[in-house]
Amino acid sequence: MKDSICEYLNLVMREGEGKKRNRNPRFQLGLLGWRVVRFVGARVRCFESFDVLYMWHVSKSRYANQRLRLNPNTDHKPDCYDDLQLEFNPSLYSSLERYLPPSMLGVSRDAKAQYMRDILAKYLPEGERTRPLHRELYDMHPTSFFVPSFLKAVTANTEESFRSIIAEPSPGVYTFEMLQPHFCELLLSEVENFERWVQEVKLRIMRPNTMNKFGAVLDDFGLEAMLDKLMDDFIRPISRVFFPEVGGATLDSHHGFVVEYGKDRDVDLGRCLSLLWMVWGKRNKRIFVEKLMRAFQIWENLWEFLVTSGRWGNLPWGFVEKVERYLTLNRFTSVGFHVDDSEVTLNVCLGKQFSGGQLFFRGIRCDKHVNTETQPEEFLEYSHVPGQAALHRGRHRHGARATTSGHRINLLLWCRSSAFRELKKYQKDFSSWCGECQREKKERQRQSVAATKLELLRREGESMT
């Protein structure tokens, strides 16, 4: 297939000889790319057409120090580049290797990859690429990523070794030292580098959630493989021990991201109010309450915003009363009160200097009971420490206090189990992990025992008479 594409490209080049052409390389690439895709149709994937596109454009360059052959060496068997962290698709390097000069075919794979990387970098417009700043982050290096105590416990892979490093400040919330300070610094630097590039090229990227404008999905700039290793080799063994009832042993996918909080990084309160006002206008009580429960902002700040902005005068008393009611309830002292779309959540503070921003937990709930009361034993306030991790079920209701000074950046990894999600479709009782289901089950058992006692007493009284 690629040979036929190359023949077609040569035909395109011959057709263009002697004709006046647009000298803008991006324009030429665009035209040629369109013609290649049109030629191969649905028989070849997009990246293959771009492979040939780059082959042709690079090989025709008159200004590059590195040179490529005009025609491929069809007898040469190229190396596989799938295991390398490269800027472009590994298939491109395998295809391009056939165009290397004869003197390069016998060198090491790394040398060939670097040679091709240098060539490709010259012809990809600077504004259309982001380069890894710290390449060591893109492969798993346990000894440089994790503190020795965590690495030792995971290597032993026993419940005893895990409990030796883990604290459980509240049922279902596990905290432990995890990341090396140097790793935190590198990851922060990598994220900042990505954010700078996004701003320079004015791209819109997917944010971790709809209520936070500051943060990035780590998979979007190449960290997916590293996060897969993190989940498979380090989080899943711990989850197998502490979260077996929610698929801890079968975690098989993730959503990894960083979020940033601070004085100028918190959610826009006006947007939060607008969302609530829109839902109120629809007179949908259920959705309104759900939005109140899941809003990504603390209620005290929302209340202060409403009072100081003078917005109360334009709001009906029913709306004000509803917000005030949820403000004054002990169970909803803060917003950010939500559950995660995960079976197990890893939350690690990366830094920087900050105050405030505590996590608060309010008990584990299934879908049916997510809006129920919080019991006294379920209250927990957790203060972030850089490098320290909190591990909990995704259905553990939680939120974040305001970061009152500085900036706080956290790494979050939502770990999911497709097997558990499939089984959950056929379950109705979640008393093995839902706090409210457990209380309802105990109450049913208590009532059953009480009814049995009454029946026995009644029969005993009848027999005596």
Give pLDDT tens digits for 4-35: 444 444 444 444 444 444 444 333 333 333 33
- For helices 285-294 and 317-328, what crossing angle results, to 10°? 40
pLDDT at 278 (0 to 100):
52
Give the tens place of pLDDT for each residue, 273-307.
455 555 555 555 555 555 555 443 444 445 444 54
- CB atoms inside a 10 Å sphere around CB 14: 9
pLDDT at 183 (0 to 100):
96
pLDDT at 17 (0 to 100):
42
Q: Which amino acid is at 10?
A: N
Give the tens place of pLDDT for each residue, 318-327.
555 555 555 4
Give the tens place of pLDDT for each residue, 352-363.
888 888 888 888
> Taking 90 as the threshold, does the pLDDT of residue 437 lie above it?
no
The residue ranking higher by pLDDT, 304 or 439, is: 439
pLDDT at 131 (0 to 100):
65
Could you give the count of Cα atoms lying within 13 Å of 440 in the half-sphere of its Cβ? Answer: 16
Q: Which CATH class is domain 138-265+337-417?
A: mainly beta
Highest mean pLDDT among 28-37, 41-50, 315-324: 315-324
pLDDT at 256 (0 to 100):
92
The overall average pLDDT reported for the chain is 73
Least confident residue range of 63-77, 214-228, 246-260:
63-77
pLDDT at 147 (0 to 100):
97
Percent of the chain with pLDDT over 70: 66
> Taking 70 as the threshold, does the pLDDT of residue 350 lie above it?
yes
Give CA–CA dist 164/162, Å, rounded. Answer: 5
Contact 437, 394 (CB under 8 A): no
Give CA–CA dist 234/255, Å, rounded. Answer: 16
> Taking 90 as the threshold, does the pLDDT of residue 425 lie above it?
no
The residue ranking higher by pLDDT, 325 or 259, is: 259
Q: Find, among 249, 234, 257, the residue nearest to 176 by Cα.
A: 234
> Taking 70 as the threshold, does the pLDDT of residue 182 lie above it?
yes
Residues 6 or more apart from 257 whose CB is under 8 A from it? 208, 215, 216, 217, 218, 411, 412
> Taking 60 as the threshold, does the pLDDT of residue 148 lie above it?
yes
331 falls in which pLDDT band (50, 70, 90)? very low
pLDDT at 14 (0 to 100):
47
DSSP classification of residue 108: -
| Average confidence (pLDDT) over 235-254 | 94
Domain boundaries, the chain: 2-128, 138-265+337-417, 434-464
**What burial class does residue 112 get, using C-beta atoms within 10 Å of its C-beta: 0-12 exposed, 13-18 middle, 19+ buried?**
buried
pLDDT at 251 (0 to 100):
95
pLDDT at 325 (0 to 100):
53
**Looking at the whole model, is its pTM more than 0.95?**
no
> Taking 50 as the threshold, does the pLDDT of residue 332 lie above it?
no
Least confident residue range of 75-84, 129-138, 200-209, 324-333:
324-333
| Average confidence (pLDDT) over 88-113 | 86
The residue ranking higher by pLDDT, 27 or 405, is: 405
> Taking 60 as the threshold, does the pLDDT of residue 219 lie above it?
yes
Contact 412, 398 (CB under 8 A): no
Record the tokens describing residue 285, joined without a space: 């009580």
Give CA–CA dist 279/267, Å, rounded. Answer: 18
Percent of the chain with pLDDT over 90: 25
Q: Find, among 170, 177, 221, the residue nearest to 195 by Cα.
A: 221
| Average confidence (pLDDT) over 164-180 | 95
Of all residues in the chain, what percent are helix, strand and coil, respectively (each to 5)?
A: 55, 15, 30
